[in-house]
Amino acid sequence: MSEINLKGTNYRLTKQRRIILEELKKVCTHPTAESIYKIVRKRIKNISFATVYRNLDFLEKNGYVLKLKIKEKKARYDGESKPHRHLICKCCGKIIDIFDCRGIIIRSKELKACGFVPDCGCLEIPGFCKQCEAKAKHLTINRFAPAKHKIIL
């Protein structure tokens, strides 16, 4: 176990936390806790789902991972620490990271005029991925219907 303190806390970067963080940073699929457990279990045979879940919660509360709470779906986790946004397919649920957010700027003046003050820089944008766009055109999916996912500012 590493004796490195996590962001000035009295907590250590345990073997379990380190491996969970390493494995989460390797993938860009925004896995569920169950998926992360299956991945981590390949490296730590006797780890329990409860341990993985508890450590994901710890890492999220301390700012090391992002927990995406998508309406009516299981929480997904993101190990990317650089500022970015998420594009979420309304058809298949795929989550795509977008790092160049210059065209997605919401002005603080406009938010304040609405009486709203955001507490973080997260923004989830619903739409259709490349694979589902063609399906959406042929199905009765209303592309302009309200999103099933909430927008988080």
pLDDT tens track for 104-120: 555 566 666 777 665 55
So what's the pLDDT on residue 107? 59
Mean pLDDT, the chain, integer: 77
Give tens-digit pLDDT for 9-20: 677 889 999 999
Domain 1-79 has CATH 3.30.70.270: no
Specify the pLDDT at position 72: 66
Q: Look up the pTM and report it.
A: 0.69
Structure tokens that stand for 139 in this block: 């199905």
C-alpha dist (Å) from residue 130 to 11, 87, 95, 134, 146: 43, 12, 12, 7, 20
Residues 118-141 pLDDT 10s? 555 556 777 888 888 877 776 654
What is the pLDDT at residue 54? 96
Distance from C-alpha of 33 to C-alpha of 47, rounded to nearest angstrom: 13
Q: Which CATH number fits domain 82-138: 3.30.1490.190, 2.40.50.140, 3.30.559.10, 3.50.50.60?
A: 3.30.1490.190
